[in-house]
Amino acid sequence: MKTILKSSIFENNVLIKTFEKDFKTSNFSEKTVAIDYTSVKGTLTEISVSGLRVLIRDVETEDYNVEVHHNFPFFKLQFEIEGFSHYNPLDQDCPEVYIPNNHYNLFYLPKVHGTLSYKKGHRKTLEILFTENYLKAIIGKNFKQILHRFGAAILSETAFFMWQKSQPITTDLQNHIDEIRFCKYPKDLKKPYLEAKIKELLILLLAQTNEDSNNKAPYNISETDYNAILKVEHYIKTHLKASLTIAELAVIAGMNTTKLKQSFKLIFSTTIFKYISCLRMEEAKQLILEEKFTIAEAAYHVGYKHPQHFTVAFKKIYGYVPSHLICDRKVF
């Protein structure tokens, strides 16, 4: 299995990666490398485990393009936590793959040869690559019959997308993502933990591919209103410390407060204030685990004046108090 990447950002303008068949590996491996290309700087963590290739990116990018060619069928679950990804195939009969900020999709492409485009900004991702044999291993030999539409697409070597239009990352999915990205277990425990978590996540989503609703337009909302809600969502993410109001957000969206609340819930499947609260807790959790913030420091950083109010909100979302994270941090 071989991947060829061509871009001016690489030394000699090309990067070639080779993999064992079905991403097989005898041992669990995890490697984090510093990326220092002209247009991309940050870190990339690559994890190889039981027929999976997992990529965790945290980079700052300029506008740049990469020509990509895989010589194998491409199965991928991709979360653009922050940033943007756009694949444009050379063969115009093949579909594009567009995943904007805070969106995800699960897809299968029988062949990949085209251009990946990225925009200037901060890009954080979780990308899970797998193969047909991995599906067979976790679901069974008759997985093509079990997965209906997805199975039929694989059988006919036709491109498949879980969603016609990439979907926003829900708070439940974000929790799954965080459990994978921020796993602190030692190597011997991390391997079975990640295997179980990724298997759970994939089966959760694969089960949804059988639902007829996934093959329809995701929501009855105009492209203009959809983009307005994404603008609001971006504003929320960049102003988490502020005391945000519905009236303020309605002005940004260019719609009345009622329409804003209805449209936001239609797209993100939750209310605006619950979404804000979940984002604040997610950032606080990361600050405590990764940046070694105290509970009070994390609370103030995400806009809470009183740590006790933060603790109540945190427990309401995660089911445990934030001091539990401090204990985990000490153990590992």
The CATH number that applies at residue 305 is 1.10.10.60
Per-residue tens of pLDDT for the chain, all 332 residues: 999 999 999 989 999 999 999 999 888 999 999 999 989 999 999 999 889 999 999 999 999 999 999 999 999 999 999 999 999 999 888 899 999 999 999 999 999 999 999 999 999 999 999 999 999 999 988 888 888 888 889 988 999 999 888 999 988 898 899 999 988 888 889 999 999 999 999 999 988 876 654 544 456 788 899 889 989 988 998 898 888 999 999 999 999 999 999 999 888 878 999 889 988 898 898 888 888 899 999 999 998 989 999 999 998 888 889 888 877 655 55
pLDDT given for residue 308 in this prediction: 92
130 & 90 share domain: yes
204 & 59 share domain: yes
pLDDT given for residue 211 in this prediction: 62
Residue position matching structure tokens 């039929």: 152
pLDDT given for residue 328 in this prediction: 60
Residue range of the domain that includes 280: 223-331
10 & 118 share domain: yes
pTM: 0.77
Number of domains in the chain: 2
198 & 247 share domain: no
Given 190, 215, 240, the domain boundary residue is 215
166 & 94 share domain: yes
Is 65 within 8 Å of 115 (Cβ atoms)?
yes
Given 154, 185, 215, the domain boundary residue is 215
28 & 103 share domain: yes
268 & 167 share domain: no
What whole-number distance in Å separates Cα of residue 186 and Cα of residue 331? 10
Q: Do strands 103-109 and 160-161 pair parallel, antiparallel, or not at all (unpaired)?
A: antiparallel
198 & 234 share domain: no
pLDDT given for residue 238 in this prediction: 87
Residue position matching structure tokens 């796993």: 183
What is the Cα 224 distance to its own chain's centre? 24
pLDDT given for residue 219 in this prediction: 60
First to last CA, the chain: 36
232 & 204 share domain: no
Given 215, 237, 256, the domain boundary residue is 215
pLDDT given for residue 330 in this prediction: 56
Which alpha helices (DSSP H) does the chain contain, by range?
A: 132-139, 143-146, 149-156, 171-181, 187-208, 223-238, 246-253, 257-268, 272-290, 295-301, 307-318, 323-331
23 & 171 share domain: yes
What whole-number distance in Å separates Cα of residue 150 and Cα of residue 160? 6
pLDDT given for residue 40 in this prediction: 95
150 & 231 share domain: no
The CATH number that applies at residue 114 is 2.60.120.10
pLDDT given for residue 187 in this prediction: 86
pLDDT given for residue 27 in this prediction: 86
292 & 163 share domain: no
